[in-house]
């Protein structure tokens, strides 16, 4: 959920496609019903507080931006898909806080250098197709000494495995696009940020998800609400055998993670750093 149509001309069609994909279904329901704990975890790790200028890249409907605003920070929630902002505004109003919502491209952010004390992304920037430009922009808009925070699904965790399952059913990615779960690989993120950051701290942890009683319930929810899953099913809609096969694989994935009582653990990487200089 990042990027925007202000990107370079060669990427325009790809950006439009990504924006449309994240507008499918009901991502705000995913944010509020499935992963609500992730935003506060990232906000706490970045030590966001009153007076901080904060940028959330790939903010979606604000599952990290709103908790940041509740600390007294001044927050900009940026995303490729402004269709998600209406739900975010409603959630912010209900929480009793305000923030700025701005359509923006993770790979070409419309903000000045060193504009923010904190720049972070909660399972958002990882879906920008080109990783290095996104990392470059994240560093650029953070002031020297400012904090950078990234919370991303790992390749080996539940969501990483879900994307691996869907890959054979999806159209080939465009040249140069990189897999989102690579942002959950510590060495990959360290290489993206390079020597421009210091005080890097990284750890993997699990989000306990208790939203789905069965693997089939997980599959059906994601088929209805999660843009990437919806897009894959649309790509194979005319092939009933492949639809049935993907149905089976996703339901089995859900069952394989069942800890009993409908609980699952979804692994993520939490990485924080400070901009050098």
Give the pLDDT mean for 92-118: 98
Return the domain boundaries, the chain.
9-208+265-275
Give the pLDDT mean for 238-257: 98
pLDDT in tens, 34-77: 999 999 999 999 999 999 999 999 999 999 999 999 999 999 99
What pLDDT is attached to residue 277?
87
Q: Which residues contact 235 (CB under 8 A, 6 or more apart)?
A: 169, 170, 171
| Total Cβ atoms within 10 A of residue 203 | 11
Secondary-structure breakdown of the chain: helix, strand, coil percentages, each rounded to the nearest 5: 45, 20, 30
Q: Which residues contact 260 (CB under 8 A, 6 or more apart)?
A: none
What pLDDT is attached to residue 11?
78
Give the pLDDT mean for 188-193: 98
Please say if the pLDDT value at position 4 is more than 70.
no
Q: Higher confidence at residue 261 or residue 152?
A: 152
Please say if the pLDDT value at position 2 is more than 80.
no
Give the pLDDT mean for 206-212: 98
Helix (H) or strand (E) holding 88: helix 85-95
What pLDDT is attached to residue 10?
52
Closest CA to 81 of 63, 66, 103, 64: 103
Please say if the pLDDT value at position 262 is more than 80.
yes
Do β-strands 100-103 and 197-209 pair in parallel, antiparallel, or remain unpaired?
unpaired
Q: Under CATH, domain 9-208+265-275 is a member of which superfamily?
A: Vaccinia Virus protein VP39 (3.40.50.150)
Alpha carbons 249 and 166: distance in angstroms, whole number: 9
What pLDDT is attached to residue 243?
98
Helices (H) and strands (E) in the chain, counts: 11, 7
Write down the mean pLDDT value for the chain. Answer: 95
Handedness of CA 97, 100, 103, 109 (dihedral sign): negative
What pLDDT is attached to residue 66?
98
Give the pLDDT mean for 14-19: 92
User: What's the pTM value of the predicted model, to 2 decimals?
Assistant: 0.94
Give the pLDDT mean for 199-212: 98
Q: Which residues contact 275 (CB under 8 A, 6 or more apart)?
A: 139, 142, 143, 144, 145, 146, 147, 148, 196, 197, 198
Closest CA to 79 of 100, 59, 98: 59
What confidence category does residue 165 fall into, taking pLDDT thresholds of 50, 70 and 90?
Answer: very high
What confidence category does residue 1 fall into, taking pLDDT thresholds of 50, 70 and 90?
Answer: very low
Angle at 33 between CA 27 and CA 35, to 5 degrees: 80
């Amino acid at each position: 959920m990042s990027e925007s149509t202000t990107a370079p001309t060669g990427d325009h069609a790809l950006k439009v496609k990504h924006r449309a994909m994240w507008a499918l279904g009901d991502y705000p329901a995913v944010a509020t019903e499935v992963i609500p704990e992730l935003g506060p975890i990232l906000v706490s790790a970045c030590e966001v507080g009153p007076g901080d200028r904060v940028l959330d890249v790939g903010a979606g409907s604000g599952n990290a931006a709103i908790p940041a605003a509740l600390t007294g920070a001044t927050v900009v929630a940026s995303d490729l898909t402004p269709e998600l902002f209406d739900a975010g505004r409603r959630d912010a109003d209900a929480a009793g806080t305000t923030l700025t919502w701005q359509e923006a491209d993770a790979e070409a952010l419309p903000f000045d250098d060193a504009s923010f004390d904190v720049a972070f992304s909660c399972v958002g920037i990882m879906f920008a197709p080109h990783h290095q430009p996104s990392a470059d922009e994240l560093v650029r808009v953070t002031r020297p000494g400012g904090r950078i925070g990234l919370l991303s699904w790992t390749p080996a965790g539940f969501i990483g495995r879900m994307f691996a399952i869907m890959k054979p059913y999806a159209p080939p990615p465009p040249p140069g696009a990189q897999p989102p779960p690579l942002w959950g690989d510590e060495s990959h993120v360290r290489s993206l940020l390079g020597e421009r950051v210091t005080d890097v701290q990284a750890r993997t942890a699990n989000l306990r998800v208790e939203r789905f009683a069965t693997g089939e319930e997980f599959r059906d929810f994601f088929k209805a609400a999660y843009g990437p899953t919806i897009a894959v099913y649309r790509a194979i809609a005319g092939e009933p055998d492949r639809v049935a096969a993907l149905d089976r694989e996703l339901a089995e994935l859900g069952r394989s993670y069942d800890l009993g009582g409908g609980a699952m653990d979804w692994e993520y990487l939490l990485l924080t750093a400070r901009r050098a200089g």
